[in-house]
Structure 1
Amino acid sequence: MLLLALLPILFNPSFSSLFHKWTQWSEGLSHGFLLIGIFVYLVYAELPFVYQRCAKLHTASIGLGLAFFSLCWALFALIDFNLLAELSLLALLFFAIAYIYGPNTAWSQRFLLAIPIFAITLWDQLNGGLVNLSGLVVGELVRMFGIPAVIDGNSIFIPYGHIVIADGCSGLRYFIIALAMGYLISYLNGYREKQLVPVLLIAALLALVTNWIRIFILILVGFYTEMQSSLMNDHDLFGWLLFAGICLPALYFAPVRKRQAAALEANGQPTSIRILMALLLLSAGPLMYLIAPSPSSETSIAVNLPISFKPASDNSDELWSQNLAQEVPSEWNQYFTRAQAQLTITSYRRAKKGEKLVPYIGSLYPSSSWSKAPIDNSHFRLADATAELQHKTSGKKVLQIQWFQVGDFHSASSRVTKLLQVPALLAGKDTFRLITLTQPCDQRGCTTATESLSTMAAEIHAAIKE
């Protein structure tokens, strides 16, 4: 219990971030405090853990693992890479128990020690996929029931309005809580991996079905009330009532059996020196975080490009693509034009230790009014950088080449870009950029725009350096 009490103190940056998320009652981790409270109680119920001696070599290896994950936490916390920092904390908890009580004891408690995984930001990575899946399933339901509608990805146009299956409609909250309930049932019943997997699959399916039914009912309500129902603006309570109506009966009828305690034979008690060593190894990361230097803000983050790119102001009439504005925080936006093409360079630099090097990247284009179709990008070195955007009402088409720069590293993938924070930090770099090239397509298609933008992209890629 002392270890659990010390973790929020030693690793305060991560826990402060988690505490904030757990208090956002409308977000996906609003169950965090309750779940962690259950976890602490279950740990208390398991005490005292069985102590088993192991070879000195094994103890030393576990100690190295404990120090390694503590230092990994510091590295990820310095750039506010929440997910990897939180996963490092889970590994730290396991290695600390293994170091103090022995690896067999830690392994026997693996299901207990994994409970906090349902209270971290790991699940946020699923949000986009769940939104797309919801749009696909609900779109098929709309077609099956013959509701007059035009379906374009996550946008559903009915005669009385436009319904967008946005990020908040992913059902992520139901998904995480259903998985957590299924996992707790499995733990209390003493299930092992073979029994655990089917339970989690059933829990996930129930959560997904709940969300799909919820969205479909809202579409029906919007259609038959001509979008006038109050439910169209405030349906949070409705969603939870539907979730309870579907998932609680499944929880009630879930089989119950008495959990058998792990059959481990104790051979003594951990010494005070062993516990002290565990705490010292655990403190390696927080100490590194404390002494790490803060970022410098002396150098300019403005970009100098060849004179063939003409600077333009952000309110210039030449910038016809301003409705493609990115939802990315910036300290400096630079706008350029060249022939029909437009270039936007969004620059950002973390201001202090513990801030993200790569800021939160929202939608890179307004998906409510534009749809995106990947096209052949073999002409450009950054995979997946090129896309064709089409306005959902006017049909206007725009070609876009877009990529990220983190320090001296480049990528067109937002996920890879987040990982590039680590080598950039180790290289002492603190600047992030989003480079966006756009050009309208002509009546024959986007072939001309592709050739033009690929040439410009190569020039820009060579010219931009931190």
Structure 2
Amino acid sequence: MFVNGVLDANADVSTDASGWTVAAAAFGVGVVVLLVCYWQTVQSLVWVWDHDGNYQYAFLIFPLSVWVAFCLRQRLRARPPAPSVWGAAAVAALVFVWYAGQLLDVNLVQHFALVSLFPALVMACWGWRALWVLAFPLGYLVIFAVPWGDGLVGPLQDITAHFAVRALELTGTPVLLNGREILTASAVWMVADACSGVKFFIACSALGCLFAYLMYQRWRKRLLFVVLAAVVPIIANGLRVYFTILIGDTWGLKYATGLDHVIFGWQFFGTVLVLLLLSGWFFRDPLVAGVPPPANNTMPTGARMVVWPVVIALLIAGPVMAAGVSSPAPADDLHLTAPTVAGWRGPQTAADEWRPAFNSAAGRVKAFYRSNASGEVVELFHAIYTGAPRRGHTLITYENKLYDPAQAQILSSASQQLRLTDGRSLAAGELRLSGAAGSRLVWYWYCVDRRCTRSKMLTKLLQAWEVLRGDVSQSSVWALSAPVGYAGVDQARANLRAFAQALPVPGVAERRVQREHLTPGDEP
């Protein structure tokens, strides 16, 4: 363009490098900073996708979200970008959430914060309207890229077991339900973790949400199909277990186990998925070819553009703060001695039939006791972690378990109320296990100083409070186990209750941890 016979080069440059071009560049810089600064969390998230079969579908979630967002680019460009201070506030809040997850070594919190930072960056760099236009791909990303389904395994196991037993009863097959064990004339069937159907449930729900968004225009139809995509896999998994047991009872176990079992499961789920999508296809809405709105490439005001460097600074601040508070781990050299329990002979060296695993504890002890009155047996496990939770040294983590999954499976879980020797009341968790060595009850609770609970979430919150106060706390797990013999579950519960009520007060010892020696029965 010529102005008074002189070429005005800045006019075209400002047009090309203004508005959405600059906003997209700012967002791109933010994404690069996010990935670089939080690379350890990115690696952790990808590791879960790769090593946990329940979440391998998640590798498709990011590409699908980007594809849907790309399809919405014309609507997005219809109005100029408007960087939002509220977006910067959302980034700051999520960085703090990530920081808290880092301090407490909670992977799920870090993964959630990492993925949620993408929509927060959209709002910060492009504004509220951009967030609204991209609501589905961004929400889809946050819901299905984060591996949150572990808590569904137990409830889905219970639903599957009850559904299969009810179906067997309706078709005249004699059957008994023992927790998650299904007893028939031919065999004892265990609804294990892999039989919960959680993998198919989450993957089908993810596919159903995408299908509903693409195929329907009305919210009622979308909602109905999403509900179907969540309910159908639960029913299908119950039917799969029912047919597996029916095949085993009718034609023999060799047709219902091993490779045949795996092939049947994949074929069954594949058929159900195809039927679900076909049923939704017939009710799809006609595609409406809209006229793309004209792009508005107006440059944001200078005041709004300040949000972009602020957001970059906030993203960098999280890892910098985490690095600044890191401290060398205390030496893990505690020597724990099992307590003497009134009315019980012991402690003695315990057998390996029950194997709790709490890695990198500062100290642990496992002992065996026998009742003076009845001769009944109870085993005790106790492990202590010192200092603030940190990677590789934390009480509540995925690797730490109250039993060995290779040896046993959970039949049922419950809560038991205990009265301790100091008069405190405690709700302990109960696991009923089934394995090659027989059935077994495990009662457990976690303590942060003198505050004890069976809840993993509450334990994490108590640890967070100690970290915020600047206290160097000790956290521990107490677990009691008794075999379920011929006398049944009630007798095993009575044995555990009698032992727990005579046990020196849990939580007192943790307040007096010494580097050289610790006796759980010491008084403060």
TM value normalised by structure 2:
0.74
User: Is the radius of gyration larger for structure 1 or structure 2?
Assistant: 2
Q: How does 1:358-437 map to 2 (within 5 A)?
A: 358-360=396-398, 361-362=400-401, 364=403, 371=411, 374=414, 377=417, 379=419, 381=424, 383-385=426-428, 387=430, 401-406=443-448, 409-426=451-468, 427=470, 429=472, 432-437=475-480
Do the aligned residues in 1 keep the contact of 2:338 with 2:365 (CA within 8 Å)?
no
Q: 1:335 aligns with which of 366, 378, 387?
A: 366
- The residue type equivalent to 1:335 in the other structure is K
Q: 2:197 aligns with which of 171, 177, 180?
A: 171
Aligned to 1:220: 246
- Whole-Å separation in 2 of the counterparts to 1:224 and 1:200: 36
Aligned to 1:41: 67
- Whole-Å separation in 1 of the counterparts to 2:298 and 2:330: 55
Secondary structure of 2:53's match? Answer: coil
Cα drift, residue 29 of structure 1: 0.8
Do the aligned residues in 2 keep the contact of 1:407 with 1:424 (CA within 8 Å)?
no
Worse-superposed segment, 374-383 or 69-78: 374-383
Matched, 1:464 2:488: no
Cα drift, residue 106 of structure 1: 1.1
Aligned to 1:131: 157
Cα drift, residue 439 of structure 1: 5.7
Q: 1:81 aligns with which of 98, 106, 127?
A: 106
How many correspondences in the alignment?
Answer: 456
User: Any idea what the Cα deviations from partners look like across 1:45-83, whole Å, max 9, x if unmatched?
Assistant: 3337345576x9xx4443233112112112213443222
- Whole-Å separation in 2 of the counterparts to 1:382 and 1:192: 53
Going from structure 1 to structure 2, the CA distance change for 1:17 and 1:392 (only over 3 Å counts) comes to closer
Cα drift, residue 384 of structure 1: 3.5
Q: How does 1:106-125 map to 2 (within 5 A)?
A: 106-116=131-141, 117-125=143-151
Q: 1:345 aligns with which of 382, 402, 406?
A: 382
Going from structure 1 to structure 2, the CA distance change for 1:101 and 1:142 (only over 3 Å counts) comes to same
Going from structure 1 to structure 2, the CA distance change for 1:264 and 1:349 (only over 3 Å counts) comes to farther
Matched, 1:12 2:39: yes
- The residue type equivalent to 1:344 in the other structure is F
- Whole-Å separation in 2 of the counterparts to 1:178 and 1:405: 39
User: Any idea what the Cα deviations from partners look like across 1:199-258, whole Å, max 9, x if unmatched?
Assistant: 221001111122112212221222234322374356334323222211223213421443
Q: How does 1:241-390 map to 2 (within 5 A)?
A: 241-254=267-280, 255-258=284-287, 268-270=298-300, 273-298=306-331, 300-303=333-336, 308=341, 312=347, 314-315=349-350, 322-329=352-359, 331=361, 332-336=363-367, 340=371, 341-347=378-384, 353-355=390-392, 357=394, 358-360=396-398, 361-362=400-401, 364=403, 371=411, 374=414, 377=417, 379=419, 381=424, 383-385=426-428, 387=430
Q: Which runs of 5+ in 1 are unaligned?
A: none
- Whole-Å separation in 2 of the counterparts to 1:434 and 1:261: 63
Do the aligned residues in 2 keep the contact of 1:132 with 1:154 (CA within 8 Å)?
yes
Aligned to 1:143: 169
Do the aligned residues in 2 keep the contact of 1:330 with 1:347 (CA within 8 Å)?
no
Going from structure 1 to structure 2, the CA distance change for 1:274 and 1:78 (only over 3 Å counts) comes to same
Give the share of equivalent positions with the same residue, in percent.
20
Cα drift, residue 342 of structure 1: 3.8
- The residue type equivalent to 2:125 in the other structure is I
Q: How does 1:18-37 map to 2 (within 5 A)?
A: 18-24=45-51, 27-37=53-63
Secondary structure of 2:55's match? Answer: coil
Worse-superposed segment, 420-429 or 368-377: 368-377
Secondary structure of 1:23's match? Answer: helix
Q: Which runs of 5+ in 2 are unaligned?
A: 1-26, 372-377, 514-524
Cα drift, residue 85 of structure 1: 1.8
Do the aligned residues in 1 keep the contact of 2:367 with 2:380 (CA within 8 Å)?
yes
Secondary structure of 1:461's match? Answer: coil
- The residue type equivalent to 2:208 in the other structure is G
User: Any idea what the Cα deviations from partners look like across 1:86-125, whole Å, max 9, x if unmatched?
Assistant: 2223432222111111123213322220112212211222
Going from structure 1 to structure 2, the CA distance change for 1:391 and 1:432 (only over 3 Å counts) comes to same
Secondary structure of 1:459's match? Answer: coil
Aligned to 1:99: 124
Going from structure 1 to structure 2, the CA distance change for 1:409 and 1:273 (only over 3 Å counts) comes to same
- Whole-Å separation in 2 of the counterparts to 1:221 and 1:401: 37
Do the aligned residues in 2 keep the contact of 1:369 with 1:391 (CA within 8 Å)?
yes
Secondary structure of 2:182's match? Answer: strand
Aligned to 1:65: 90
Do the aligned residues in 1 keep the contact of 2:156 with 2:196 (CA within 8 Å)?
yes
- Whole-Å separation in 1 of the counterparts to 2:481 and 2:274: 50
User: Any idea what the Cα deviations from partners look like across 1:353-396, whole Å, max 9, x if unmatched?
Assistant: 54462222446487957855747626354653164859799998
- Whole-Å separation in 1 of the counterparts to 2:123 and 2:107: 24
Going from structure 1 to structure 2, the CA distance change for 1:64 and 1:327 (only over 3 Å counts) comes to same
